[in-house]
């Protein structure tokens, strides 16, 4: 767990808990034992603490947070207090990363030496917490109240080089960080031997003129979604305590707030999503095999999606050949890409050199010849199976053996697409979300014949381009869009019964969704949704949609792109405006159906839409489309605007209680005859089994995780 050696009067303690040296109980005990050994060894004048492998320390072990070992001694706060109180100087030698508890450990040391590329930060706010082991009290004493608060509230990581003049580090080096730290430790050891005390962070002053006014301003400017995490405000409270109270009282305040948040529902949800994203990288029922090398890629189709995919690849240093049907379309696509990078350069987001390098990685062509050397080709053309057949038949003839052939389809059958080639093992789905260079989610669709190394290559690619990847089986709409159809079906039926579009959107947004269902439709295009709906009804005439969807399209209200959809989209006005025309059409449709409109409260709106998602999620699980329940939550929190602090639709169902989910669905199963509510709300057999047995999705997740 930790390595201990003494060289010329300096004890070097190496944290060794791969892969990130997280500070779980075993490592904390080893560190405590090493510090005791150093303090009681008369030959030791000073101590250096460093990390093995990839970095100094990735922080606390989040898996311990709800286990007894999470609070067992030495707990992080007590251990770091003990370290700071050491009579011999302790120097942190930092490389790789020092995040969360890892940075708090370094803050408690008497000096800090960092490699220039070391990433440091306190990301706890993203988990709905405050730093709980002295971060809010020690950091302001080193870098000042304002800078500390900005770092804590952002939760972002920063390179040591960018913090060179902050006061956080005693030395930043491009050389061997341990050697530099040992040299500094010897110097400090000699000073202590001559009668000086180590420089303890907790004893440093933390003063700011008008600190209360500053923190009051910070609270007033917080942009927290309605019902969102209380962690940002709590961070301000803790830093204010650092500025206004003695160190010990500030530490007590931090501990009190941390424990309060750690016992809350939002931390449970955020922790669930954090762990779910890590678990999603494990592929069930697939051998661990090396990934194929991907250095050159091709993208077919230069529209919004194809251009975005090209930029996502180029941003990761992968060269891209973008293929369009003609020179005019290609010129338009390359111009869009160039303008994007020019915009980033002008806003200072990229240096001119980086922007130019990324533009240079994307070249264009109007034929497939240049794809012969590609390691990966991603098709991003229209959602038409015949068009995709033509593309994959041509790719099959041109692409080299071993090239991965991927479709960006959002709903078509990957196995049908793979059958257009003589190499179905090399084919899979890579469903990006628009804009592809921004959105984090990537659904990796495993076909019946997809080879294990093709699947592992897709997951490795996702990591390289900064995506959150989830493996899906083959079905219409995969995980996300299949569930979203049920969500939209209920949204429309609510309009028939008495709700108006803005009431449905408002209820969901106040609950925490980034955007309500009708605003989403306006953004995506109501005409596109109409085509998808028509195709689904053709395959399954029993599906029931509200006629208001088609009524809006018939009025030419196709969405934001034409300035008119469920809302009026006025140029220069960010918020959509209510449409009297649409509201009249909604009411008229209810009259055509012979329905007596009723008042529908926000609670019913939220319940019907969330439970529609969850029930479809249970069906996806029992069919084996999703590997595990937590993967479904990752899809929705990463790609569909589901609030992370709610944990995802499956987590929400579990928190509510599956028996109550069943009871509520049963109430909803009685409705207007045309809706076939009893059919829509028929519960998935897995949901019934778990609710009846008292088993949990959490247990199901664990049994399905390698």
pLDDT tens-digit series, residues 125-152? 999 999 999 999 999 999 999 999 999 9
The residue with tokens 């709106």 is 605
Q: How confident is the model at residue 706 (pLDDT cuts 50, 70, 90)?
A: very low
Across the range 388-395, mean pLDDT stands at 95
488 pLDDT tier (thresholds 50, 70, 90): very high
Set 124, 277, 497, 704: catalytic member: 124
> Does residue 124 have an active-site annotation?
yes
Same domain flag for 410 and 327:
yes
Range with the poorest average pLDDT among 59-73, 481-495, 530-544? 59-73
- pLDDT band at residue 68 under the 50/70/90 scheme: low
Task: Looking at the structure, tell me whether residues 222 and 343 fall in a common domain.
Answer: no
Residues 453 and 488 in one domain: no
- Count other Cβ atoms within 10 Å, centred on residue 408: 26
Q: Give the number of other CB atoms < 10 A from CB of residue 654.
A: 22
Residue 166 lies in a domain: yes
Residue 704 has pLDDT above 50, yes or no: no
Note whether 189 and 45 are within 8 A (CB): yes
Residues in the chain: 706
pLDDT of residue 67: 64
**pLDDT tops 70 at residue 307:** yes
- Between the CA of residue 539 and those of 295, 533, 624, what are the distances in Å? 40, 10, 22
Listed residue (82, 9, 85, 86) closest to 42, CA to CA: 9
- CATH number, position 161: 3.90.226.10
CA separation, residue 214 to residues 82, 141, 236, 608, 643 (Å): 32, 16, 10, 44, 29
Looking at the fold, whether 438 and 494 belong to one and the same domain comes out as no
Among 131-145, 435-449, 684-698, the range scoring the smallest mean pLDDT is: 684-698
Q: Provide the CA 364 distance to its chain's centre, in angstroms.
A: 32
Are 11 and 109 found together in one domain?
yes
38 and 185: one domain? yes
Residue 541 lies in a domain: yes
Which pair of tokens denotes residue 378? 């991603």
Domain boundary among 418, 449, 472: 472
Of 84, 104, 443, 654, catalytic: 104
| Same domain as 582, residue 498 | yes
pLDDT for 386 equals 92
Taking only the tens place, the pLDDT of each residue in 587-625 is 999 999 999 999 999 999 999 999 999 999 999 999 999
Whether the predicted pLDDT of 177 surpasses 80: yes
Structural domain ending residue among the three candidates 448, 472, 496: 472
* 641 contacts: CB under 8 Å, gap ≥ 6: 513, 514, 515, 520
* CA distances to 519, 551, 612 from 530, in Å: 15, 10, 20
Cα-based distances in Å from 125 to 135, 216, 270, 278? 12, 19, 10, 18
Distance spanning both ends of the chain, measured CA to CA:
24
Judge contact between 517 and 609, C-beta under 8 A: yes
| Confidence check: pLDDT of 485 > 60 | yes
- Which pLDDT band, with edges at 50, 70 and 90, does 69 fall under? low
Do 300 and 217 lie in a common domain? no
Per-residue pLDDT band at 226 (split at 50, 70, 90) = low
Residue 280 lies in a domain: no
Label residue 703 by pLDDT band (50, 70, 90): very low
Considering the domain architecture, whether residues 13 and 139 belong to the same structural domain is answered as yes
Mean local confidence (pLDDT), 614-637: 96
pLDDT tier at 702, thresholds 50, 70, 90: low
pLDDT band at 532 (very low <50, low <70, confident <90, very high): confident
Pairing type for strands 376-379 and 296-300 reads parallel
Predicted confidence (pLDDT) per residue in 318-340, tens digit: 999 999 999 999 999 999 999 99
Whole domain around residue 353: which residue ranges? 296-472
Domain membership of residue 284 (yes or no) is no
Number of domains the chain is built from: 3
As a whole number of angstroms, the distance between CA 504 and CA 442 comes to 28
The residue written with tokens 């904390």 in the block is 28
In a domain, 286, yes or no: no
- Please state, in angstroms and rounded to a whole number, the distance separating the CA atoms of residues 123 and 116: 20
Task: Output the pLDDT for position 487.
Answer: 97
Residue 705 confidence (pLDDT): 40
* 604 classed as catalytic: no
Looking at every residue in the chain, the average pLDDT score rounds to: 92
């Amino acid at each position: 767990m930790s390595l201990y050696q003494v060289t010329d009067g300096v004890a070097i303690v190496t944290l060794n808990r791969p892969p990130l040296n997280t500070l779980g109980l075993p490592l904390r005990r080893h560190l405590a034992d090493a510090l005791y050994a150093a303090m009681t060894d008369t030959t030791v004048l000073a101590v250096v603490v460093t990390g093995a492998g990839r970095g100094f320390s990735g922080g606390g072990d989040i898996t311990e947070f709800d286990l007894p070992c999470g609070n067992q001694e030495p707990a992080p706060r007590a251990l770091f207090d003990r370290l700071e109180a050491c009579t011999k100087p302790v120097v942190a030698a930092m490389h790789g990363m020092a995040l969360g508890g890892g940075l708090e450990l370094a803050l408690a040391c008497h000096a800090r030496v960092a490699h220039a590329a070391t990433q440091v930060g306190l990301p706890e706010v993203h988990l709905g917490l405050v730093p709980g082991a002295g971060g809010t009290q020690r950091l302001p004493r080193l870098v000042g109240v304002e800078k500390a608060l900005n770092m804590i509230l952002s939760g972002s990581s920063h390179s040591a080089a960018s913090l060179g003049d902050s006061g956080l580090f005693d030395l930043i080096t491009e050389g061997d960080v341990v050697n530099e730290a040992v040299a500094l430790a010897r110097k400090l050891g000699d000073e202590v031997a001559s009668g000086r005390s180590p420089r303890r962070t907790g004893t440093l002053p933390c003063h700011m003129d008008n600190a209360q006014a500053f923190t009051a301003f910070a609270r007033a400017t917080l942009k927290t979604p309605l019902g969102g995490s209380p962690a940002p405000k709590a961070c301000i409270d803790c830093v204010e305590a650092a500025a206004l109270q003695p160190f010990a009282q500030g530490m007590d305040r931090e501990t009190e707030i941390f424990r309060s948040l750690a016992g809350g529902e939002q931390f449970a949800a955020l922790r669930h999503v954090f762990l779910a994203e890590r678990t999603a990288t494990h592929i069930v029922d697939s051998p661990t095999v090396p990934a194929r090398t991907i250095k050159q890629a091709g993208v077919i189709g230069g529209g919004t999606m194809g251009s975005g995919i090209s930029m996502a690849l180029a941003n990761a240093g992968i060269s891209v050949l973008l293929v369009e049907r003609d020179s005019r379309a290609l010129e338009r696509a390359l111009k869009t890409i160039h303008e994007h990078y020019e915009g980033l350069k002008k806003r200072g987001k990229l240096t001119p050199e980086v922007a130019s390098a990324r533009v240079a990685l994307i070249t264009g062509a109007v034929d497939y010849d240049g794809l012969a050397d590609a390691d990966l080709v991603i098709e991003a053309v229209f959602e038409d199976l015949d068009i995709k057949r033509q593309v994959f038949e041509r790719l099959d003839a041109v692409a080299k053996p071993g090239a991965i052939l991927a479709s960006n389809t959002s709903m078509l059958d990957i196995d049908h697409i793979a059958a257009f080639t003589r190499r179905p093992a090399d084919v899979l789905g890579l469903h990006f979300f628009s804009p592809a260079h921004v959105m984090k989610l990537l659904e990796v669709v495993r076909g019946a014949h997809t080879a294990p190394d093709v699947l592992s290559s897709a997951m490795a690619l996702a990591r390289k381009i900064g995506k959150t990847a989830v493996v899906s089986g083959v079905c219409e709409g995969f995980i996300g869009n299949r569930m979203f159809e049920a969500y939209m079906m209920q949204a429309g039926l609510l309009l028939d019964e008495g709700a108006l579009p803005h009431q449905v959107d408002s209820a969901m947004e106040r609950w925490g969704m980034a955007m309500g269902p009708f605003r989403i439709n306006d953004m995506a295009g109501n005409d596109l949704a109409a085509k998808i709906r028509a195709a689904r009804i053709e395959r399954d005439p029993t599906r029931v949609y509200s006629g208001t969807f088609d009524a809006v399209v018939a009025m030419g209200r196709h969405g934001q792109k034409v300035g008119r959809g469920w809302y009026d989209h006025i140029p220069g006005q960010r918020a959509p405006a209510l449409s009297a025309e649409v509201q009249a059409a909604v009411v008229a449709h209810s009259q055509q159906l012979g329905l007596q409109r009723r008042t529908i409260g926000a609670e019913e709106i939220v319940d019907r839409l969330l439970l529609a998602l969850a029930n479809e999620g249970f069906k996806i699980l029992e069919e084996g489309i999703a590997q595990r329940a937590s993967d479904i939550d990752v899809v929705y929190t990463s790609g569909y605007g589901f609030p992370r602090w709610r944990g995802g639709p499956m987590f929400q169902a579990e928190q509510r209680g599956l028996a109550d989910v069943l009871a509520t669905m049963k109430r909803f199963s009685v409705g207007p005859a045309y809706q076939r509510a009893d059919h829509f709300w028929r519960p998935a057999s897995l949901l019934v089994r778990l609710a009846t047995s008292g088993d949990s999705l959490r247990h199901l997740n664990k049994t399905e995780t390698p």
